[in-house]
Structure 1
Amino acid sequence: MKQELSASIHKALENQNLAGILDRWNYPATRAKAFEGVDFEALRSKIADIKGDAAGRLDELANTFKKNAEANGIKVFIAKSAEEARQYIANLCKEKGVKKIVKSKSMATEEIHLNHFLDEFGIQSDETDLGEWICQLAHQTPSHMVMPALHLTKEEISDLFAEETKQPLDNNIQKLVKVARAAIREKFFEADMGISGANIAIAETGSIVICTNEGNARLVTTLPKVHVALVGLEKLVPNYTDAAPILAALPRNATSQLMTSYASFISAPTLNDDGTMKEVHIVLMDNNRLKMAEDPKFKEALQCIRCAACLNVCPVYRLVTGHVFGDIYTGGIGTILTAWFNELKSAEDIQALCIGCDKCKEICAAKIDIPGLILEIRRRAATKEGLPFIYKSALQVINNRKVFHTMLRAASVVQKPFVKEGFIRHLPMFLSGLSEYRSLPSVAPVPFRDLFKTIKQPKCDQKAAFYAGCALDFVYPDAGVAIVKILNKAGIEVLFPEEQSCCGIPHWGSGSFDMAADAAERNILPLLEGNPDYVVVSCASCTTALKKEWAKILKDQHRESLIPEANKVASKTYMFTELVDKLIKEKRLTPKEGMELHTLTYHDSCHAKRHVGLSKEPRDALSAAGYEIKEMNECDTCCGMGGSYTIKQPEISMQMLKRKLENIEATGAEFVSAECPGCLIQLRGGLDKSGSKIKAIHPAELMVDKFK
């Protein structure tokens, strides 16, 4: 399965149509315009409250919906499984003598593979949504939850239409739309049944709400004499007014529209053209949704309103799209839904595509912690089946400070034949792929922990415990020296607990929470020795561990005894530039006057920007130190490092790096800075490989001589 995934990734990255396909839309700009004057945080908090409450009582809401809809003349069936839903619709088709069906867009019908099932009974199901019809003609599943045929070119679509209509066609999009409209229109009049989904189901009134841009859903639900709506239980909301915030957010987040072209509320059957009453059937489908709602962690995913904004901003999805990153439901949220609507095992491979940058989390209209839930999938998989032997062994080595540090010291000697100007640019034989797209950093001949002992510091009343992190300690020790010198100028004496080791983020990110808890336990007490005023961290990922995750991990692993100390560490922890910004504002650090002006662009590491919420502070500190900041496009988009991600998914990682380097070069800045040694490894290596004049440097090295 992993080989198949690797092959599909390679094929997707080779497809020039997929490269940057979402960029041509300029989604961030159009979405921002659509949300002008709207408090997005307040809106999504309201949606999260409504949907979160509903997820806690789906059974109750389903019964209320059924009672009220049936009082209005609608027939409601609650299907426990995909099989029950399919069978109900098939039996209804048999009872009514249905041979032809028209369908509007419905991810729920895709979920249960309804078209294929009905085909076994000789029933023809025709998609009428343009994107879905294109996918049907191509015998493919949707690659995007809102734009199903996103992955196909106009040339490919023209060929599909020409084959279907038996007429020669050119690639003019407007003409192709007219051809599709003409071909689909006749199907509405021939159909015995219309099948739709629904965006919202309102328990209070027994109504369903359908949002579309093409108007096909109105024809599907009105022309045939029988209308069936297949609706997942998660679409239920208690009251009529609950639909308003969803309708306000859905089009804006999905397609940057203020509203969809059509919003249909269906509360009761209407008359057919011949005067008979239309039959309306609503199938409310469980298919593990109730089980999901009972799970204290995954219940949150049922808040999803299917806007697919998470796909539009995901740097991985933007490269490979949904036929690689997903099953029926695509992207990060699709991975979670797949794990529940199918089974955990089916999401095992696709969850590994998530780099954990959290872009999806900050744009989600329902405040779902998508990367956090993917991490939970990893944790459960690791608990149930264990990690692969090699990867587990590597994590165990990292967790053994003496062994790991001995290996790094040995590597600094063994690497010498391959090191030139601080980089490893070429490796022999089977290792050559590691340096194909970027130069690799060399291990420093003297680690920071050794250099620290040689630094003469003044005796100060305030103390800061310095948590260096593995990369700065053994790869970028000069940045560590710079941090000590700068803090000394502010009247802070730096302590370096020698027992410190890996923060546990690699273990946490792999789902191995037990080893992450081991890492936390080893570090907490050494960092509190001497009762320091601050714990300063030079790495955004490590800051996340100390400030946000250690206490949570210890609680998760039932190691409560150290939680008070973990919280104490968290309360004292500052990312280096965060502390420098504070010290400048307190006038404890004074920038020199008359400094030569240099330009830099700043890369926000994912952990800094979205895990610990630090973005302004580094810029303020660097600006105060005399640097002109030239913002790059997508400054907070992942560089592709992602720790072990760059080894597990090298092709995707390098494509993300390529995009980041293009954005850096476009600024014309002298330097690019990032407060994450992992990002610096990626950026420095990429810039060196490309022969760029721009240098990637840690903020501490840029600021070390800038204060009095």
Structure 2
Amino acid sequence: MEANDRNIKNEIHEKLSDEVLRGALGRFAEAYPVARAKAYENVEDIDALREQVRRMKAGAVADIDKLADRFEAEAVKRGARVFRAKDGAALKKYLLDLCREKGVNRIVKSKSMAAEEIHLNRDLEADGLQVKETDLGEWIISLAGQKPSHMVMPAIHLNRQQIAGYFSQELKQEIPTDIPFMVEAARTRLRQEFLQADMGISGANFGIAENGAIGLVTNEGNARLVTTLPRIHVVIIGYEKLIPTIKDAAPILRTLPRNATGQLMTSYMSMVAGVTPIMVRKNGKWVEEDKELHIILFDNGRLNAARDDKFKQIYQCVRCASCLNVCPVYTLVGGHVYGHIYAGGIGAILTAFLNSMGDFEKFNELCIGCRKCVEICPGKIDIPGLIEELRARAVKEHGLPFAVSTVFENVISNRRVFHTFLRLASIGQKPFQTGRLIRHLPLFMAGMTKDRSLPAIAAEPLRDRIPKITAQVTKPVKRVAFFCGCNIDFVFPETGESVYKVLQDLNMEVVFPDEQSCCGKPVLGMGDRETGRKIAKQNIAAFEAAAPDVIVAACPTCAETWHQTYGELFTDDPAWKKRAEKIAHKVREFTSFVAGCYRQAGRLKQVDGPTAVTYHDSCHIKRGLGIYREPRELLAAASAYQLVEMKDCDKCCGMAGAFGIKYAELSMPILKQKITNIIDSGAAVVAVACPACMMQIQGGLDKQAPHIKIKHVADILAEKV
């Protein structure tokens, strides 16, 4: 294992054993969706509001240079001085020179992630300046000597006992754990800082090109004091915060508080435009002077992102951090695991552009691709997709580790070698196999089966069973080619048989192109697009030769890969792109396809049976393909079952391909919560439409609730065929 892997593993283990952090994040993760839903209950069309944010921000980045020019001109017209800082070094030099020129000794700051991004306080203090954070959360973590663990709530990982300890040490008196008392103590202590400060430094939630104003959305009054009391106000604002007009602030103000903290509006909404007169004491007399306003327009990699066709999408971020609030990994370990200032999936992308690709590569695998962040993001940013793009660029630049690339290039991309390897593995697993499961592994592999059993590879894969299960269908209504994927072929061949039964019962001719192989998602997910293209070409050619009317996949990950990835793999090869898009157009996910057929045949009538069944939405089927109603309709129509919903039915099970094995210590807590929700539903059966989820949940049930069975929707439908 490489040093980076060891370091992040150590950090993960430390955070997983931190009961305070786990408790704080767990409570917040539980409360947040309820608070957000309540905040949006009077918004008629949330998606339309999100689309408004997306369009406005996408339009802004498309015209970013003109927008910046206009913002600067309007700000200067109103008395501000604007400096464009290319990077952190330029920003710090400007600021330090300004402090020396103006005789600044004391600085107060309100919250600014851009300042955190370049460790600004450290350099200011090294130059002899006294710098005080005045945002309560930022002040707390500065006392703790830590960095933020969340973009909106920087001290979310601490509890009141820890905070009282930091306060007691700073204030040199015993501070009780009473929250109102601590807030009042902080207010009293910091008030003198505002009055004595020569300079106030703030960030900005947005900058308006129309009038050169900045907007600050806060829950504490400190930002107003920072921007008004000191004689010099310095604003640090990234290019991504620029918007065209004051009207464009409206969708941000409607989404940012709701998504960030579940509020309709924050306590304070401030606009700062131009300079204002202030009273200063000179030679024993109070005199009126114009306050100085300096605006630093900060690049530090932001303009590179703006000019990148794919990554200009990050300008749609409003910094609400809602993506962190729903991330299964973040809500387990918090933000410090991510190494740099920005945490979570969006943090990985920002780190790549604002810090370095090297730092991105250290923790990019912590994104499990569940797409919960995409579902909730006000700007509709495809965070997992952008992370995969960065992985692909990293692989293109310096390749994969030798062992991984050898397996990808010589095994997975070669169907015969890959399938021979799986057949041999089915023999080699026998000493550890109990029935269809592997419950215990020896030595250093023991941890893999500590909290879940692993699926055994089938002795006879689906492809060997095809001649026995293929029925002669007279006058078929459709010719269907079945893309089974690796899991159904070699782990759950019985589910493949169920698919055949259901489709043949619908009077369809089902064919199995023998040259089909893995869809390529494991390879593509790690950024190896060259091998991914080889695999895609094999599959495209195999299914073209079958000449089907429809291609059915009972694995939503495979269906999504065909639909959303194959065409993109050949952007530089028009001929293959055309072939990929033409064949992908025929691909259908099993449950949605069958539900359509049943509906047409009048077979979707709800019938309550004696057996309670609950349904787990896989990430790829619900948020990747947008399919969630159809599996439930099929289950409700299954005469032997009665559908009951579990809590958090669409929350990730923690599998996420290789993540579930490499980061088992993270995968297992996510799985345990899923198993708890299944048990609490009271169901005797849990249904899934994804074989990867079936592997994960089956393993967890075997350890925690062996009385509950797991079945693919196809298996349930096949029972009455």
TM-score, normalization by structure 1: 0.97
Moved more, 390-399 or 378-387: 390-399
1:13 matched to 2:16? The reply is yes
Identity %: 48
Aligned residue among 230, 235, 241 for 2:241: 235
Distance in 1 separating the partners of 2:380 and 2:714 = 35
Moved over 6 A (4+): none
The 10-residue stretch of structure 1 (596-605 or 337-346) with the greater mean CA deviation from structure 2: 596-605
Query: 2:225 — aligned with what?
Result: 219
Q: Which of residues 582, 599, 611 is equivalent to 1:598? A: 611
CA apart distance, 1:484: 0.7
In the alignment, the residues of structure 2 paired with residue 119 and residue 595 of structure 1 have an alpha-carbon distance, to the nearest angstrom, of 70
Residue deviations 1:645-673 (CA, integer Å, cap 9, x gap): 11221211112111111111111111111
Cα distance, 1:211–1:456 mapped onto 2, change above 3 Å: closer
Match of 1:521 in 2: 537
CA distance in 1, matches of 2:585, 2:68: 45
Match of residue 470 from structure 1: 486
Q: Does 1:175 align with 2:181?
A: yes
Give the secondary-structure state (helix, strand or coil) at the position aligned to 1:493.
strand
Offset at residue 370 of structure 1 (A) = 0.9
Aligned to 2:566: 550
**Structure 1 residue aligned with 2:646:** 632
The reply to whether residue 206 of structure 1 matches residue 212 of structure 2 is yes
Contact 1:326/1:335 (<8 A) preserved: no
**Structure 1: how far apart are the matches of 2:363 and 2:559?**
28
**Are positions 1:28 and 2:41 aligned together?**
no
Return the alpha-carbon distance in structure 2 between the equivalents of residues 244 and 588 of structure 1: 47
Contact kept, 8 Å, 2:595 with 2:604, in 1: the verdict is no
Please name the residue that 2:404 is paired with. 391
Asked if residue 423 in structure 1 is aligned to residue 447 in structure 2, the reply is no
Partner of 1:532: 548
- Contact 1:21/1:318, CA 8 A, preserved across alignment: no
Partners of 1:227 and 1:280 within 8 A in 2: yes
Partner of 1:63: 69
CA distance in 2: counterparts of 1:400 and 1:588, whole angstroms:
44
Gaps of 5+ in 1: none
User: CA–CA distance in 2 between the matches of 1:594 and 1:361?
Assistant: 35
What displacement does 1:382 show?
0.6
> Do structure 1's residue 125 and structure 2's residue 131 form an aligned pair?
yes
Match of 2:312 among 299, 305, 311: 299
Larger displacement relative to structure 2 (30-39 or 215-224): 30-39
- Aligned-partner Cα distance in 2 for 1:491–1:17: 59
| Counterpart check, 1:314 vs 2:346 | no
For these two proteins, the number of residue pairs brought into alignment is 704
Shift of 1:563: 2.5
Unaligned runs of 5+ in 2: 281-287
Shift of 1:597: 2.6
Contact conserved, 2:470 with 2:510, CA < 8 A, in 1? no
* Residues 547 and 569, structure 1, Cα contact 8 Å, conserved in 2: no
CA drift of 1:104 comes to: 0.5
Q: Work out the CA distance in 2 between the residues paired with 1:389 and 1:632.
A: 43
In structure 2, give the amino acid aligned to 1:88: Y
Q: 1:456 to 1:236 in 2, by over 3 A?
A: closer
Counterpart CA distance in 2 for 1:700 and 1:20 is 39
Say whether the 8 Å CA contact 1:18–1:151 is kept in structure 2: yes
| 1:370-406 Cα shifts (integer Å, max 9, x gaps) | 1111111100111111111222223231221111111
Deviation at 1:471, TM superposition (A): 0.8
- Contact residue 604 and residue 633 of structure 2 kept, 8 A: no
Corresponding position of 1:610:
623
Match of 1:279 among 287, 292, 317: 292
**1:19 partner SS:** helix
Q: TM-score, normalization: structure 2?
A: 0.95
The offset of 1:112, in angstroms, is 1.7
Tell me the CA shift for residue 68 of structure 1: 1.1
CA distance in 2, matches of 1:273, 1:594: 78
Q: Secondary structure of the residue that 1:242 maps to in structure 2?
A: helix
Q: Distance in 2 between matches of 1:16 and 1:695?
A: 32
Measure how far apart 1:499 and its partner are.
0.7
- Give the one of 168, 179, 183 matched to 1:162: 168
Shift of 1:444: 0.9
Give the Cα separation in 2 of the matches to 1:326 and 1:336: 13
**What do the CA deviations read for 1:141-160 (whole angstroms, capped 9, x no partner)?**
10000000011111111100
Mapped contact 2:603–2:637 kept (Cα < 8 A): no
Pick one of 700, 704, 708 that aligns with 1:686: 700
Q: Which amino acid aligns with 1:354?
A: C
Q: Deviation string for 1:186-207 (max 9, x for gaps)?
A: 1111111111011110111010
Structure-2 separation of matches of 1:395 and 1:638:
26
For residues 303 and 337 of structure 2, the distance between their equivalents in structure 1, rounded to whole angstroms, comes to: 28
Whether contact under 8 Å (2:556, 2:589) holds in the other structure is yes
In 2: Cα distance, 1:594 partner to 1:3 partner: 53
What SS is found at the alignment partner of 1:406? helix
Separation in 1 of the partners of 2:240 and 2:438?
52
Q: Is the 8 A contact 1:317 1:325 kept in 2?
A: no
Q: Is residue 333 from structure 1 mapped to residue 346 from structure 2 by the alignment?
A: yes
Asked whether the equivalents of residues 506 and 643 of structure 1 are also in contact (C-alpha less than 8 Å), the reply is yes
